[in-house]
Structure 1
Amino acid sequence: MYKLKYYQLSLLKTDWKSGISVFLVALPLCLGIALASGAPLFAGLLSGIIAGIVVTLLSGSEISVSGPAAGLTVIVATAIKDLGSYQGFLVAVILAGFLQIALGYLKAGRFSAYFPESVIKGMLVAIGMVIILKQIPHALGDDQDYEGEFEFEQSSDNQNTITELIRSVIDFNDGAVLIAITCLALLIVWDFASKKNITFFKLFPSSLAAVLMGVGINELYKLYAPTLYLGNSPIHMVSIPIFKNLNDFSKALVFPDFSFLTNPQIYSIAITLAVVASLESLLSLEAGDSIDPQKRISSSDKELIAQGVGNTLAGFLGGLPVTSVVVRTSANVYSGAKTRMSSLVHGFLLLASVFLIPSLMNKIPLSALAAILLMVGYKLAKPSIFFKVYKEGYDQYIPFAVTVLVIIFKDLLFGIFIGTFVGLLFVVFTNFRSVISVVRDGNNVLIKFNKDISFLNKPRIKNILMDLKEGDDVFIDGSRANFIDHDIYTMLYDFKRSSKARGIELTFKKVNRKIQGDINQYEADVETLH
């Protein structure tokens, strides 16, 4: 009862506004991703509705928002082409959903905790920068590429992010530019006024104001400046399929063809979808937790189950596979969402846009929505974030910077894995440095093993022993090392045998292995040893 009241208060206070903002961000993405995947446009909207309502209710997070994901478009498009049937592909989506549910019950969500914080920060900043780079063309009226395309290499037109930017700057649309600039200026002013606690600006959602402004300007074009009017070309506008009656709607629904269960390709596609969708969801969950003002910790296992249920339902009803999505989640947080009610509002608004007001939705210029996404991108990639991470040290900044660059110039998952690998290299390097400590006081030298020693520490120990000088009195303390690798033990034994000839006094404390025993008592067969 308390929980229900909490959600009601949050919905009435803030979540209805943030739900509208997320809806306006999600709407073009659902359509664009469906277009890029080679699926029916309605499939993208259907997945957005399922994710917004069903996944939200089951989610392990209060602020995560799910929907069809740009990161799956290449996999989906290739699968549909290889199978030669969208109905067959839906069977793979259902199987992927079952696999995700199983992963959730097997507690596989714990693996999300292994991604370093520097990499998660880099992912958020990179996505912010990609949003900006990808939305500038839409703000300039270059709408040839679908909304939601985040890879550097653009499969739709064989351009890339940089060449697309150049093309859009050279050949921009005056009407779209004016709408984008006006809406962006409105959003900046609105944000400033809201921070000054001016009541109206705090109560009314800025994204809705920007969209209304964009629609208004475009309608004025129609009356007074027809050459600037964007509605003459659907490419510049939101384009929701319009159902005139129930018959049209029934024709739009696509159901799975279970005869494809005999096709071995179905199972490899399902596994690929399950793994990639789960990774994207877990990464988005970690990212959402990192920017959540209340610093809540989401249940990754519960999230996997929620995503699995969503994908199973999407497959049965003809939708695209869904994941938790960083762009929608970020828009949700930065628009002031407090609970899952915001995502639920966005789901019901997607439902209403399809069945109640599609004609009105189709009056929204993409340049107006680009202004909203540009603001989201800026908030994710503020310059202050770079300075903050830089001050945390090179072991944080370098994995962060690598993640940012690889995501921008390649794609999300590749950037995450490369950034994590670089982060692990720093962990290994730091660990190597801290395993062994050396203190010299004149000719007295203390070599201390602070933890277990493996063969990976061999180069450092070798250099330390080589640097010892004639007349040194060396004390090697292995009392903190529960395990000493055979290679290290052998090296120390060799050094022990040759130390007197070099004029070095050597003392060992608790340097031992289970088989060979204490190095002070160990006498190896020299021929066998070498």
Structure 2
Amino acid sequence: GPAAGLTAIVFAAVLQLQSYELFLCAVFIAGLTQLLLGILKAGFIADYIPTSVIEGMLAAIGITIILKQLPEAFGFHKQKWSELLDAEDGISFSFLNEAFHHIHYGVLLITLLGLAIIFFWQSSYAKKINKLPSGLVVVLVAVSGVLIYKYFYPHLELEQAHFVQIPIAKSLSEFGSHFLFPNLKGFTMPEVWIIGIEIAIVASIETLLSIEAIDKLDPHKNVTPTDVELRAQGIGNIANGLLGGMPITSVIVRSSANMNAGAKSKASAILHGVLLLICVVSIPHYLNWIPKAALAAILIATGYKLCNPSKFKQVLKVGGWSQFVPFMVTIIAVVATDLLKGVCMGLLVSIFYILKRNMHAPFYFQRSVYSTTQIIKIELAQVVSFLNKASIKAALDVLPAHTYLVLDASQNEYIDYDVIELIREFQEVKAQERHIQIAMIGFNIRYKLKQTITESELLSTLAYLDELPKRFAGNHQQLIQQLKQKME
């Protein structure tokens, strides 16, 4: 089926169109749109996702994986477990009590054995034998366990619902009958185009988020070319639409499982697809022997790696509260809603902290006192945007009366129009009311700002002062040192 972020969209789209064949036209359109986005190099969007949000998304996916696999791991009734997770009144502890009284111990034993194998495989004791992927060993041991149950412990034997279930075609014609093809009438329907573009946007965003997260997980720190990924995925979805498949996206779970198995290149993804095709076509009978508990163990181990408790400590220790709060909001929101909504909530919180930091970032403030005369210098940063307006306004509002203000823009390359208007308003009204003399350095003439005193006039005013600065505070002393030298 589709990735988690697309599940609701696919379900709603099929219901709306009332035809899977019409829906396939939307998948084709989605692929075409993604291909166009890749050609237009829209993949740069991924570079603007904060690390705290990506880390939170990864941890949330890990928690979600574990929660979703608990029914398979314990042998619970899956439908009732879904009702529990989706309950409006919170978790029903009576149901939890009932669920734990209906554990299938045969299933649980396979799960625990699978987890033990996976974690043992990661230890130093397994160096000589861990060339085999741990997941493969778990599946082989689980199938062996099922046979042991059948012949020696019938009370632990698993029901059919606890096994992988793949349809078995008895002939090539029956296998071919499983394929559906698009109804070309769909390309003339506006609602099909709207659904196709919606799928493309959601799939592309989820892909870019996944790519950013996967690159962080990669021990070799390879960088995925986002535009190439969008183009490739677009071609894949075009083919899917033509052959009856559902839309695809990049998925963190499968990619991280691939990396955990030792994969180092895109050849592993291609081989993954080839092996799936061969297995489904040639050995579906044997695949149906695999207990779901074995796959649950593999996924739970993968989920634990994504939401390892050490990650929470690391984010708080390295990034502080400004990183930890968006991290936690993203986790809670993704688990409670879905990936896209959760990431959007995390981004909003992250933007709040960015705005808060910008309150102090656009300038350096320093003050020197010569006898009874104060010089205040505000040195503007390289880029001053409208986001910095509030902090600059706050700094100007607290300037004492009868002072000299030096506004230094010598290092600045861009000042937003809103900030220029703020400075002009301060010059024309508040500075005159408080008798503040303003000297401006480095401002572009296109801003048309008038200064009330030049730098040379400021130096002349200070020349008569024979007392050295009594007090000094600030980060940048260049202008004040020049003033001292000229005074001497």
Q: TM-score range by the shorter chain?
A: 0.7 to 0.9
- Spell out, residue by residue over 1:325-369, the C-alpha distance to the aligned partner (whole angstroms, 9 max, x if none): 110011111221111222222212211221111111111111111
TM-score (norm 2): 0.83
Q: Contact 2:66–2:299 at 8 Å: present in 1 too? A: yes
1:228-243 equivalences in 2 (<5 Å): 228-230=156-158, 232-233=159-160, 235-243=161-169
Q: Contact 1:153–1:160 at 8 Å: present in 2 too? A: no
1:315-354 equivalences in 2 (<5 Å): 315-354=241-280
Letter of the aligned partner of 2:236 in structure 1? G
Larger RCO of the pair (alpha carbons < 8 Å, separation 6+): 1
Q: Distance in 1 between matches of 2:293 and 2:226?
A: 36
State the match for 2:17 in structure 1: 83
Q: Contact 1:510–1:518 at 8 Å: present in 2 too? A: no
Q: Contact 1:511–1:518 at 8 Å: present in 2 too? A: no
State the match for 1:363 in structure 2: 289
Q: Distance in 2 between matches of 1:471 and 1:152?
A: 69
Query: Does 1:519 pair with 2:412?
Result: no
Q: Distance in 2 between matches of 1:202 and 1:250?
A: 40
Q: Contact 2:9–2:199 at 8 Å: present in 1 too? A: yes
Q: CA deviation at 1:472?
A: 4.4
1:179-194 equivalences in 2 (<5 Å): 179-192=110-123
Q: Contact 1:152–1:410 at 8 Å: present in 2 too? A: no
What is the aligned residue count? 443
Q: Contact 1:453–1:485 at 8 Å: present in 2 too? A: no
Q: Contact 1:477–1:509 at 8 Å: present in 2 too? A: yes
Q: CA deviation at 1:185?
A: 1.4
Q: Contact 1:478–1:509 at 8 Å: present in 2 too? A: yes
State the match for 1:423 in structure 2: 350
Q: CA deviation at 1:450?
A: 2.3
1:85-100 equivalences in 2 (<5 Å): 85-100=19-34
Q: Distance in 2 between matches of 1:160 and 1:281?
A: 33
- Spell out, residue by residue over 1:274-305, the C-alpha distance to the aligned partner (whole angstroms, 9 max, x if none): 11111111111111111111111111111111
Q: Distance in 2 between matches of 1:248 and 1:281?
A: 34
- Aligned equivalent of 1:205, options 110, 124, 133: 133
Letter of the aligned partner of 2:133 in structure 1? P
Letter of the aligned partner of 2:118 in structure 1? L
> For 2:366, what is the secondary structure of its paired residue?
strand
Q: Distance in 2 between matches of 1:493 and 1:196?
A: 76
1:5-154 equivalences in 2 (<5 Å): 33=1, 68-142=2-76, 144-145=78-79, 154=86
* Fraction of identical pairs, as percent: 39
Q: Contact 1:96–1:312 at 8 Å: present in 2 too? A: yes
Q: Contact 2:424–2:449 at 8 Å: present in 1 too? A: no
Q: Contact 1:237–1:365 at 8 Å: present in 2 too? A: yes
Q: CA deviation at 1:393?
A: 2.3
Q: CA deviation at 1:490?
A: 0.6
State the match for 1:25 in structure 2: none
Q: CA deviation at 1:138?
A: 1.7
TM-score (norm 1): 0.77
> For 2:146, what is the secondary structure of its paired residue?
helix
Query: Does 1:285 pair with 2:211?
Result: yes
Q: Contact 1:93–1:312 at 8 Å: present in 2 too? A: yes
The 1:266–1:246 alpha-carbon spacing in structure 2 relative to 1, beyond 3 Å, is same
The 1:462–1:347 alpha-carbon spacing in structure 2 relative to 1, beyond 3 Å, is closer
- Spell out, residue by residue over 1:185-217, the C-alpha distance to the aligned partner (whole angstroms, 9 max, x if none): 12222221xx34632x22222111111222222
The 1:152–1:432 alpha-carbon spacing in structure 2 relative to 1, beyond 3 Å, is farther
Q: Contact 1:139–1:370 at 8 Å: present in 2 too? A: yes
Q: Contact 1:475–1:506 at 8 Å: present in 2 too? A: yes
Q: Distance in 2 between matches of 1:440 and 1:91?
A: 67
The 1:346–1:361 alpha-carbon spacing in structure 2 relative to 1, beyond 3 Å, is same
For structure 1, which runs of at least 5 residues remain unmatched after alignment?
Answer: 1-32, 34-67, 523-530
Letter of the aligned partner of 1:221 in structure 2? Y
For structure 2, which runs of at least 5 residues remain unmatched after alignment?
Answer: 455-488
The 1:508–1:261 alpha-carbon spacing in structure 2 relative to 1, beyond 3 Å, is closer
The 1:228–1:354 alpha-carbon spacing in structure 2 relative to 1, beyond 3 Å, is same
Q: Distance in 2 between matches of 1:355 and 1:159?
A: 42
> For 1:476, what is the secondary structure of its paired residue?
strand
State the match for 1:15 in structure 2: none
Q: CA deviation at 1:163?
A: 5.5
1:319-468 equivalences in 2 (<5 Å): 319-394=245-320, 395-442=322-369, 443-468=374-399
Q: Contact 1:101–1:308 at 8 Å: present in 2 too? A: yes
Q: Distance in 1 between matches of 2:396 and 2:152?
A: 85
> For 2:108, what is the secondary structure of its paired residue?
helix
